[in-house]
Amino acid sequence: MPTANAYIGRQPVLNRNQQLIGYELLFRENKLAMSAGHPSELMADTQVLVNTLNDMGTSWLIGNKLAFINVGAAMLTSDFLELLPPRRVILDLSPRVVPSNDLISRVRHLRALGFGISLDDFSFEAPSAAFLDYANYVKLNVQQHDTQQFQMAASRLRSYPVIRIAECVETHEQFHDCRELGMDGFQGYYFAQPETLTAKVIHPTFSNTLTLLNLLRQDADIHEIEAILKRDVALSYKLLRYVNSAAAGLNTTITSFSHAVTVLGYHKLYRWLTLLLITASDDAHAPPALQKTAITRGRFMEQMGRSKGLPHERCDDLFIVGMFSLLDVLFDMPMQSILEHIQLSEAAILALRNAQGPFGNYLQLARACEDNRLSSVPELSELLQLDAATLNQCHMGALAWVEELGL
């Protein structure tokens, strides 16, 4: 199967003026699911995290709004949380989290990193009330309190510096009552039912992900890391999208693998790969023949650039253009939609969108060499000032390199 699907539920969170401030992101097993079902808490938390970071991306899911992400005790202690963009994420602590000195210290640390802390389904009797001093948001469930209890809790929370959100608001009467109580925000079916978003996903192979993890553990040379990334379309695509996303907190566009690794650092890259391994699969990654064609095309274009003496950065771009030029086939979706999820150089985007710009002729020539007729090869070779011998050497070198990879 060339692709799998990723699903995530999304429900708006509104302020007092019913303006959108963010979305709660919810676990969904499939497109038709109306609720989380019955997965383990850790499984649900992890899948939402994976989908947010790797399969859908924060930019597409939440735009410039906040993401409220449910967190149980197991995920709360996980290093995976540090992969999220702290200024954009509110950690929605489950009311079932039993406080301990370690967990309170962990919440304090996450708050110091810039994460918002929200207490979900809050009551002063719940164990999670121990985290109240560290919370930015408190959610009171309209359905789980009678009117008097809700009023007392809302009133008591006024003495804390928190934003009070009424959740599970289902009727106009409930909204009116909560607004009269001075609640700061609202969430519930009265405003919008959760929508389920779907994205096509291609997975890296277990073997490539494990190889990278081992290389990072051994503090291997960055060129060894780069070599593994170049053999896996899904892995390289996910890495470049992640490193350029808000999750990485960067102010510059990263377009090469070596730059991505340098910016992230081995420790953070290791943590990201460990999370990726959870969804890596040998039966859902890109079809071998298609992946082989994409990697060959990338290497071929890179070699053409080198033969012309282009700078290393431009050759990196050529490799990425060639490798990513089949993503529309792998994802079974328009290239334009894919380009909205990843940041690349303008030259790379022009080439991938319509084979134009400084890399356009390289991509056209690489495609032409895959066609048995070779009809447009002479004309394109002349445009790039590549003689037949050099072109043949680049192409044969690319084919040999991919064979050495064992693909």
74 and 121 share a domain?
A: yes
| Nearby residues of 119 by Cβ (< 8 Å), 6 or more positions away | 93, 95, 128, 129, 131, 132, 135, 137, 138, 139
Task: Summarize the confidence of residues 219-242 as an average pLDDT.
Answer: 86
CATH value at residue 131: 3.20.20.450
User: Does residue 149 sit in helix, strand or coil?
Assistant: helix
Confidence of residue 115 (pLDDT cuts 50, 70, 90): very high
186 and 171 share a domain?
A: yes
| Nearby residues of 145 by Cβ (< 8 Å), 6 or more positions away | 123, 153
104 and 141 share a domain?
A: yes
What pLDDT is recorded for position 210?
72
Strands 163-167 and 116-119: unpaired
Confidence of residue 3 (pLDDT cuts 50, 70, 90): low
Which residue blocks in 7-128 are alpha helix, DSSP H? 41-50, 58-62, 73-76, 101-113
117 and 184 share a domain?
A: yes
300 and 336 share a domain?
A: yes
In Å, what is the CA distance from 345 to each residue of 253, 281, 316? 7, 30, 11
90 and 105 share a domain?
A: yes
Count of domains in the chain? 2
Contact of 221 with 205, CB cutoff 8 Å: no
Gyration radius from the chain CA atoms: 25
- Closest to 267 measured CA to CA, from 329, 340, 194, 216: 216
Quick: pLDDT tens for 295-348.
889 889 999 999 999 998 888 889 888 988 988 887 777 888 888 767 678 899
- Closest to 363 measured CA to CA, from 389, 327, 331, 332: 327
110 and 183 share a domain?
A: yes
What pLDDT is recorded for position 339?
83
Residue count of the chain? 407
131 and 208 share a domain?
A: no
pTM passes above 0.85:
no
237 and 175 share a domain?
A: no
What pLDDT is recorded for position 246?
55
What pLDDT is recorded for position 292?
81
Running DSSP on this structure, what letter comes out for residue 80? G
What pLDDT is recorded for position 47?
67
The DSSP annotation for 255-281 comes to -SHHHHHHHHHHHHHHHHHHHHHTT--
- Closest to 243 measured CA to CA, from 225, 208, 218, 269: 269
Task: Summarize the confidence of residues 82-102 as an average pLDDT.
Answer: 89
Q: Which residue's entry shows tokens 């009133």?
A: 155
Last residue in a domain, options 172, 198, 224: 198
The DSSP annotation for 84-116 comes to S-GGGEEEEE-TTPPP-HHHHHHHHHHHHHT-E
Contact of 94 with 128, CB cutoff 8 Å: yes
What pLDDT is recorded for position 52?
66
192 and 209 share a domain?
A: no
Kindly tell me if the per-residue pLDDT of 228 is higher than 50: yes
Structural tokens at position 402:
């991919």
CATH value at residue 294: 1.10.3210.10
Last residue in a domain, options 180, 198, 216: 198
Phi, psi of 370 (to 5 degrees): -85, -15
Quick: pLDDT tens for 258-299.
888 888 888 888 888 877 765 554 444 556 777 788 888 988
- Closest to 196 measured CA to CA, from 20, 6, 333, 358: 6
What pLDDT is recorded for position 282?
46
Query: Residue 341's domain spans which residues?
Result: 203-405
78 and 218 share a domain?
A: no
Task: Summarize the confidence of residues 234-240 as an average pLDDT.
Answer: 84
CA–CA distance, 351 with 141 (Å, rounded to integer): 51
Structural tokens at position 304:
């053409």
Quick: pLDDT tens for 173-190.
999 999 999 999 999 998
Last residue in a domain, options 198, 217, 236: 198
Mean pLDDT of the chain: 83
Structural tokens at position 268:
């953070």
167 and 304 share a domain?
A: no
